[in-house]
Structure 1
Amino acid sequence: MALLEVSNLDVRFALRQGEVRALRDVSFTLDRGERLGIVGESGAGKSVAAFTLLNLIAKPGYIAGGSIRFEGIDLARMSSRELRRVRGNRISMIFQDPMMTLNPVLSIGEQMVESLKAHRRISTQEARAIALHKLKQVYIPSPETRLDQYPHELSGGMRQRIIIAIALLLDPDIIVADEPTTALDVTIQAEIMTLLRELCEKHNVGLVLITHDLGVVSQMTQRTLVMYAGRVIEQGPTREIINDAQHPYTQGLLNALPQMTTPGSRLNQIPGSMPSLSNTPSGCAFHPRCQYRYDATGQPRRDCLDQVPEFVTSGNCQVACHMVRDMLAKEAS
């Protein structure tokens, strides 16, 4: 049995202008020690998926269907009291902005001790010793000094290491990292990602990494989910997706990487933009931006316009695309 099993997850937001679906039939699994990437543009539903894993969706959002099973127990059906024993303890989360996560009026040590004592019956002295050990694990220089400093006294990279240390405080089974290097420069990004990978491998911790960067995913994860307009449109081993992307959207994301163009030339881009959740196109949501939406006669494909594509298996990957379905059927005949 997988450590985490998400099945047919449906998340909606009840707004004045009507209900919108942020996640549609999202399913995936995560094994112990596995690193999973969730990729897509802004608005694809990545962060909603991350928050939903810990049932952190606030009103007017709610889980309308599906399940999130952690060691066989459905987190979506847990009470707030039961979830408190899981959040931060068994499943930790690293948010995008460390300054929004850390309390500016408490020292680093006070925040770490508070987190530990919320879940364990230990003395302040014991909690402080654990906090110091975790700071050493994430290679914080002069950790004894850092414990008594405040967030504003630390650099961006240092604050992000503190957040990772806090996520590791209670030895979780899973870490959910929601674009953990967004505000950092490239050099620090690489250091943080290397640190996360090292810690997951050393402690056999499962990682769900939310990002828009397929370059980061290729270095960090073993499996990848590509999301578009609230749906998973391709999933499989990361190496296979990077080397032979099947869905036109995944191909577009890869072609948009800076290293895919010659120096001095314009970057490749996917035409158009992510649709609004309140006005998602019928059929395949990607069809207005897809270069393969026309048939051999130059007419729009009716299935792309009218039918939501089902998953088909291509190699070790699953792809939701009518064109890929037709290509596989042609190869099989």
Structure 2
Amino acid sequence: MALLEVNHLDVRFALRKGEVRALRDVNFTLERGERLGIVGESGAGKSVAAFALLNLIAKPGFIAGGEVNFDGKTLNHMGERGLRRVRGNRISMIFQDPMMTLNPVLSIGEQMIEAIKAHRRTGTKAARKIALDRLRQVQIPSPEARLDQYPHELSGGMRQRVIIAIALLLDPDIVIADEPTTALDVTIQAEIMALLLSLCEEHNVGLILITHDLGVVSQVTQRMLVMYAGRVIEQGPTREIINDPQHPYTQGLINALPQMATPGEPLNQIRGSMPSLDNLPSGCAFHPRCDFIRRADGEVRPACVEQVPGFTVSGNCRVACHMVEELQQDRRLKEASQ
């Protein structure tokens, strides 16, 4: 059994105009020590999925269906007391902006010691020693001095290192990193990701990396999910998806990378924008933006407009696309006729 199993997860927000489905039938697993990437544009549902794992969806949002099973226990059916034993202890989270995560009126040491004592029966002196050790692991210079400093006294890269140190304080089984380098300079981003990767490998920690940066995902993760409009539309080994993307949306994301453009020419981009979750198109949610909606004869594929695609197995990947399913059927017919 996998360390983390997400089965048919459905998250909704109760608004005045009715319920909006932010996540629809999301399924994936994470093994101990495995690194999983979740990618997609803003509004795809990546962060909602991360918050749902720890049952941190704030009202008017709620988990409407499905299960999040961690180490044999169903988190979304667990009481607040039980969840407190998991959050920050066995599953920790790194948020986008460290200044929004760290308490500005407490020193770094006070915040780290408080986190340790909330989950461990230990004295202040022993907790401070653990905190100091974690700051050394994330390569913060003069860690003794940093413990007594406040968040505003540190640079952005230094604050993010502190956040990583706090995430690893209690030797968690899983770290969820939600856009961990968004607020940092490009020169610092690579250092932070390399540090996070090495620490997860050293401690055999499972990593869920949420990002829109396919370049980072290709270097850090072993498997990946591609999300669109609240649904997983492609999943499989990272290298296989990056080298041979099956879904037109995944192809568009990869083609939009700067290195894929001709020098001196505009960057490639996916036309249109992510649909509003309260007004999703019929059929495949991506069909209004899809370049492959028409067949070779110029006719629109009716299924793309009328039916939500199921998953088709392609190699080691699963893809929710009518075109891929059609190509698979054509291939089977050709093989049968030979």
How far did 1:330 drift? Answer: 1.1
Equivalent-residue separation in structure 1 for 2:288 and 2:61 (angstroms): 27
Cα distance in 2 for residues equivalent to 1:269 and 1:296: 23
1:184-333 correspondence to structure 2 within 5 Å: 184-333=184-333
Q: State the partner residue of 1:100.
A: 100
After TM superposition, give the deviation of residue 82 of structure 1 in Å: 0.6
Identity of aligned residues (%): 78
Q: Deviations along 1:74-105, whole A, 9 cap, x unmatched? A: 00100111100000000000000000000001
SS at match of 2:275: coil
Following superposition, the deviation at residue 186 of structure 1 comes to 1.3
1:131-170 correspondence to structure 2 within 5 Å: 131-170=131-170
Q: Where do 5+ consecutive residues of structure 1 fail to align?
A: none
For residues 298 and 263 of structure 1, the distance between their equivalents in structure 2, rounded to whole angstroms, comes to: 32
Aligned: 1:119 with 2:119: yes
Q: AA paired with 1:241? A: I
Show structure 1 runs of 4+ deviating over 4 A.
none
Root-mean-square deviation (CA, aligned residues, Å) is 0.6
Q: For residue 232 of structure 1, give the secondary structure of its aligned residue in structure 2.
A: strand
Partner of 1:174: 174
* Aligned counterparts of 1:277 and 1:81: Cα–Cα separation in 2: 33
SS at 1:125 equivalent:
helix
Unaligned runs of 5+ in 2: 334-338
SS at match of 1:207: strand
The structural deviation recorded for 1:264 is: 2.1
Distance of 1:126 and 1:281 partners within structure 2: 57
TM-score by length of 1: 0.99
**Aligned equivalents of 2:262, 2:203: Cα separation in 1:** 40
Rounded Cα–Cα distance in structure 2 between residues aligned with 1:309 and 1:214: 24
Give 1:21's aligned amino acid.
R
Supply the distance in 1 between the matched residues of 2:196 and 2:54 (Cα, whole angstroms): 20
Q: Distance in 2 between matches of 1:94 and 1:10?
A: 23
In the superposition, the TM-score normalised over structure 2's length comes to: 0.98
Q: How many residues align structurally?
A: 333
Distance 2:264 2:3 in 1: 46
Could you tell me how far apart the structure 2 residues matched to 1:318 and 1:96 are?
29
Other structure's SS at 2:278 match: helix
CA distance in 1, matches of 2:328, 2:75: 37
C-alpha distance in 1 between matches for 2:314 and 2:186: 34
Alpha-carbon shift at residue 301 of structure 1 (Å)? 1.4
